[in-house]
A and B are shown apart, each in its own frame.
Chain A
Amino acid sequence: MELMEVFDIKVVILWTDGLVFLLTFLALFAIISMRSNPYLRRTWREVFRSKIGISAFVVLMAYITTGILDSFHFRAALENTENQTGTHYSGEVTSVLDMIIGQPHQHQEKTYSAPFSAFQFAKENIELPDGTIQRQYPRLKYGGSHLNEDTSDKVSDIIRRTFVSILWALLIWGCLVWLLIFLKARKSQNSMAKIGRQIWSGRTDIPWKVALIATGILILSISWFAQIADGYHIFGTDKVGNDVFYQAVKSIRTGLIVGTVTTLIMLPLAISLGIMAGYFRGWVDDVIQYLYTTLSSIPGVLLIAAAMLVLNVWIDNHPEHFPTAVQRADIRLLSLCIILGMTSWIGLCRLLRGETLKLRELGYVHAAQVFGVSNVQIIKRHFLPNLMHIVLITVVLDFSFLVLAEAVLSYLGIGVDPTTSSWGNMINAARLELAREPVVWWSLIAAFLFMFGLVLAANLFSDAVRRAFDPRGVS
């Protein structure tokens, strides 16, 4: 195949993709602007000085990278047939992540199969070579198809693959360690051996040893998954034979989007209204207070359910705006984020209003007012920087709540589209599978493990952030 053909693709940018890119850009911008502020630099250093904080950060970065890779969507070109003008593109939208995972995501079996199994979960009539028909567990099309007849070499095959994955992991990890030591040595003008000893004995300001161990474990598990997923279904397959492990990986993007895009929608509302209410007081304050009291008096789940119900009817009635199923699923995901954003800005708005009320009585604000500085300038220069720590803490705290909320809402049928891979949808399907005899447990466990990893990392990281930015621990 020629190189041009490899890259012959049609880029598809979904709404949520665009927002993910915007968010990534904003985050990078925030990091760059924070670097020039010595106070913020010191506080962030404090976050990464805690061993738990830095390990949680490593795990979060792995999730985020997966989510971003899964947000580059495109339609691959179909192979040219005879007498055809121009290139035609596949109707299926794939992502860069699918490309990296490669074959396993297309390995579809017929129905359920257990983790690591080479056989189907249910018996089937099979015609034997001599013509007789027997009921037995058929071999899977992809899972363990490279094994011999009676799959007696399965254990040795898994051990071999594990061994290969350890070698790969060591190689990559070794390069990383070398790179880190090399960079640090060049920066501090020390010999590499000395830096290496410092990291090994844990005498560094930021606990690099812990960070490297966490990265090592992460690389090892990724390379192990990569090796095994090539030949087996690690978490088995679901009812229609899709690989559960692949589904759980694809759900990462959904979870991250709900956790982050919602914040992006809620922040402008909360910040502008909160500061306005606290700064201008009077009728502005009354109106804003009325607004959030009314909204918060409606039970959250019910408001979300009502809004989602209404939006679904609206989407169903306007199919012309969303030609493909992917676009429809995408707009449902986005509307879930918008609705969650509409219901979750209130807490932050209240906090910001209270803090602004306190700040506006301070001397330097009065001084600025007396000097005739405009309100916009005062808010920009004196209020925003002094409120940022509250915003940051709330955003990090809300993240894990939102990821959990997505699952609950999808489970209740008012969350993301049923065709979107999400942990909530997986758990929803697993509810019925547990009632089967024998039990199909792997979907539930896979969704649980992936979700638990993300939420635990987010919770631990938010603890570290809160401890650094708000030492009193009250928020």
Chain B
Amino acid sequence: MFNYILRRLAYALPILLGVNIITFALFFVVITPNDMARLHLGDKHITQEQIQQWKHERGYDKPLFINKDSQGFDMVKETIFYQKSISLFFLDFGTSDADRRDINYDISQRMWPSLAIAVPTFIVGLLVNITMAMLLVFFRGTHIDTLGVVLTVILMSISSLFYIIAGQFLMSKLWHLAPISGYELGFDAWRFLILPVVIGVISGMGAGTRWYRSIFLEEINRDYVRTARAKGVPELKVLFKHVLQNAMIPILTGVVVVIPALFMGNLIMETLFLGSVLYIIGLIITDISYTWVDPRVRLS
């Protein structure tokens, strides 16, 4: 197992390097540091000196890949690519271009509110979706099932934007159940979290329920289910014990760790990298979790 994780991490290196090259190409080759300086300084009538100054402050006045003015290892080190891209591997994100804030600090600050929304949404959503899907499977072939499937398609066809806006409008403005925005540290945060969590769960319900229903329906015609029923195991126990346990693999595959990354704005380039680090970790966890739910799975 340990070897497996090590090897997977080693495989991750070229992928992360690829992500790095993509972001580097986007942010330094397609648009040059000059363009970026103009974008941030925001003025049409800007002097060359101001641009140079801006680039110098942020270290963008170095050559892209190879610095011919330096000696030895510094030839590679004193370049934009090394300083801005390679340093990401050491999880050193530098400072933000716009207001020169420390990005590491920003990430550590903003991560907790994001996680506080993402984790409950994920867990509650999972429970709700699986329960709803189980109910539909329990009533399969009846009108309740048909009605449920129609409902999931309708839920799926509504834009998530509408859930957000309608949720904010109804719960905050009309019924005054929850504050519309803001955040508070500590235990009081739950008042601010309830609205996004509810919206998140409802907006994911249509697609989620449908997806789990199809997984469970696939399992329900297997031999072991028939055997269990023949032995007189009650239907609910068949569903929640036998079917659920055996459907764990497809469930886990679909449920790769949610990435709590929506730090927009100036942090885009750095979060691209962080996001893909989290994704790779998520994949590894997914593989390991297979061994928990199905002892036949061996990681090699």
A residues sitting closer than 8 Å to B (CB atoms) are 290-291, 293-299, 301-303, 305-307, 309-311, 313-314, 317, 400, 404, 407-408, 411-412, 423-424, 427, 430-431, 434-435, 439, 444, 448, 451-452, 455-456, 459-460, 463, 473-474
B254 neighbours in A (Cβ, 8 Å) = none
Measured in the bound complex, the distance between the Cα atoms of B271 and A299 in whole Å is 9
Out of B18, B165, B269, name the residue touching A306 (CB < 8 Å). Answer: B269
Told that A299-B259, A404-B160, A408-B160 touch, could you supply 15 new A-B pairs with CB distance under 8 A? A290-B15, A299-B261, A299-B272, A299-B275, A303-B22, A303-B272, A305-B268, A306-B23, A310-B26, A400-B156, A407-B159, A431-B165, A434-B169, A459-B156, A463-B153
> Is the beta-carbon distance between A301 and B159 smaller than 8 angstroms?
no
> Is the beta-carbon distance between A313 and B157 smaller than 8 angstroms?
no
Measured in the bound complex, the distance between the Cα atoms of B23 and A114 in whole Å is 47
Measured in the bound complex, the distance between the Cα atoms of B15 and A396 in whole Å is 31
Main secondary structure on B side of the interface with A? helix
> Is the beta-carbon distance between B14 and A301 smaller than 8 angstroms?
no
> Is the beta-carbon distance between B153 and A412 smaller than 8 angstroms?
no
Expressed in whole angstroms, the minimum distance between the Cβ of B246 and any Cβ of chain A is 16
Measured in the bound complex, the distance between the Cα atoms of B276 and A296 in whole Å is 8
Q: Does B10 contact A (CB under 8 A)?
A: no
Contacts A290-B14, A306-B26, A460-B153 given; does A408 touch B275 at CB 8 Å: no
Measured in the bound complex, the distance between the Cα atoms of B159 and A56 in whole Å is 18
What are the interface flags for B153-186 relative to A under an 8 Å C-beta threshold, 1 for contact and 0 otherwise? Answer: 1101111111001001100010000000000000
Measured in the bound complex, the distance between the Cα atoms of B163 and A427 in whole Å is 12
> Is the beta-carbon distance between B280 and A474 smaller than 8 angstroms?
no
> Is the beta-carbon distance between A313 and B268 smaller than 8 angstroms?
no
> Is the beta-carbon distance between B173 and A434 smaller than 8 angstroms?
yes
> Is the beta-carbon distance between B26 and A411 smaller than 8 angstroms?
no
> Is the beta-carbon distance between B15 and A452 smaller than 8 angstroms?
no
Expressed in whole angstroms, the minimum distance between the Cβ of B205 and any Cβ of chain A is 15
What are the interface flags for B205-238 relative to A under an 8 Å C-beta threshold, 1 for contact and 0 otherwise? Answer: 0000000001000100000000000000000000
Out of A293, A303, A408, A473, name the residue touching B159 (CB < 8 Å). Answer: A408
> Is the beta-carbon distance between A427 and B159 smaller than 8 angstroms?
yes
> Is the beta-carbon distance between A290 and B18 smaller than 8 angstroms?
yes
> Is the beta-carbon distance between A302 and B268 smaller than 8 angstroms?
yes
A412 neighbours in B (Cβ, 8 Å) = 264
Out of A400, A451, A473, name the residue touching B214 (CB < 8 Å). Answer: A473
A297 neighbours in B (Cβ, 8 Å) = 15, 19, 276, 279-280
Out of A301, A431, A459, name the residue touching B157 (CB < 8 Å). Answer: A459
Out of A293, A307, A448, name the residue touching B162 (CB < 8 Å). Answer: A448
Chain B, Cβ-Cβ closest to A412: B264
Q: Does B35 contact A (CB under 8 A)?
A: yes
> Is the beta-carbon distance between B39 and A299 smaller than 8 angstroms?
no
> Is the beta-carbon distance between B162 and A306 smaller than 8 angstroms?
no
Measured in the bound complex, the distance between the Cα atoms of B92 and A474 in whole Å is 43
> Is the beta-carbon distance between A427 and B153 smaller than 8 angstroms?
no
Expressed in whole angstroms, the minimum distance between the Cβ of A444 and any Cβ of chain B is 7
> Is the beta-carbon distance between A427 and B162 smaller than 8 angstroms?
yes
Chain B, Cβ-Cβ closest to A462: B153
Q: Does B262 contact A (CB under 8 A)?
A: yes
Chain A, Cβ-Cβ closest to B30: A310
A-B residue pairs in contact (CB < 8 Å), sample of 16: A290-B14, A297-B279, A298-B19, A299-B279, A301-B262, A305-B264, A314-B31, A317-B35, A400-B156, A408-B159, A451-B159, A452-B157, A455-B157, A459-B153, A460-B153, A474-B214
Measured in the bound complex, the distance between the Cα atoms of B157 and A317 in whole Å is 38
> Is the beta-carbon distance between B161 and A313 smaller than 8 angstroms?
no
Expressed in whole angstroms, the minimum distance between the Cβ of B225 and any Cβ of chain A is 18
> Is the beta-carbon distance between B261 and A411 smaller than 8 angstroms?
no
Expressed in whole angstroms, the minimum distance between the Cβ of A455 and any Cβ of chain B is 4
A293 neighbours in B (Cβ, 8 Å) = 15
A295 neighbours in B (Cβ, 8 Å) = 22
Contacts A298-B275, A434-B165, A434-B169 given; does A310 touch B27 at CB 8 Å: yes
> Is the beta-carbon distance between B35 and A313 smaller than 8 angstroms?
yes
Measured in the bound complex, the distance between the Cα atoms of B74 and A154 in whole Å is 80
Measured in the bound complex, the distance between the Cα atoms of B154 and A423 in whole Å is 18
A404 neighbours in B (Cβ, 8 Å) = 159-160
Expressed in whole angstroms, the minimum distance between the Cβ of B180 and any Cβ of chain A is 9
User: Which of B157, B165, B218 has the most CB atoms of chain A within a 10 A radius of its CB?
Assistant: B157
Measured in the bound complex, the distance between the Cα atoms of B275 and A57 in whole Å is 39
> Is the beta-carbon distance between B159 and A456 smaller than 8 angstroms?
no
Measured in the bound complex, the distance between the Cα atoms of B153 and A303 in whole Å is 28
> Is the beta-carbon distance between A298 and B161 smaller than 8 angstroms?
no
Measured in the bound complex, the distance between the Cα atoms of B153 and A298 in whole Å is 29
Measured in the bound complex, the distance between the Cα atoms of B154 and A435 in whole Å is 27
> Is the beta-carbon distance between B15 and A400 smaller than 8 angstroms?
no
Q: Does B36 contact A (CB under 8 A)?
A: yes
User: Which of B30, B31, B271 has the most CB atoms of chain A within a 10 A radius of its CB?
Assistant: B31
B157 neighbours in A (Cβ, 8 Å) = 400, 452, 455-456, 459
Measured in the bound complex, the distance between the Cα atoms of B275 and A306 in whole Å is 13
A313 neighbours in B (Cβ, 8 Å) = 31, 35-36, 39
Measured in the bound complex, the distance between the Cα atoms of B154 and A451 in whole Å is 12
User: Which of A293, A295, A400, A424 has the most CB atoms of chain B within a 10 A radius of its CB?
Assistant: A293
Measured in the bound complex, the distance between the Cα atoms of B61 and A470 in whole Å is 57
Interface residues of B in 135-157 (CB under 8 A from A): 153-154, 156-157
B158 neighbours in A (Cβ, 8 Å) = 448, 452, 455
Expressed in whole angstroms, the minimum distance between the Cβ of B17 and any Cβ of chain A is 9
> Is the beta-carbon distance between B31 and A294 smaller than 8 angstroms?
no
Chain A, Cβ-Cβ closest to B279: A297
Expressed in whole angstroms, the minimum distance between the Cβ of B248 and any Cβ of chain A is 17
Measured in the bound complex, the distance between the Cα atoms of B160 and A451 in whole Å is 12
Measured in the bound complex, the distance between the Cα atoms of B18 and A452 in whole Å is 39
Chain A, Cβ-Cβ closest to B278: A299
User: Which of B154, B161, B269 has the most CB atoms of chain A within a 10 A radius of its CB?
Assistant: B161
Expressed in whole angstroms, the minimum distance between the Cβ of A301 and any Cβ of chain B is 7
Contacts A310-B30, A427-B165 given; does A294 touch B22 at CB 8 Å: yes
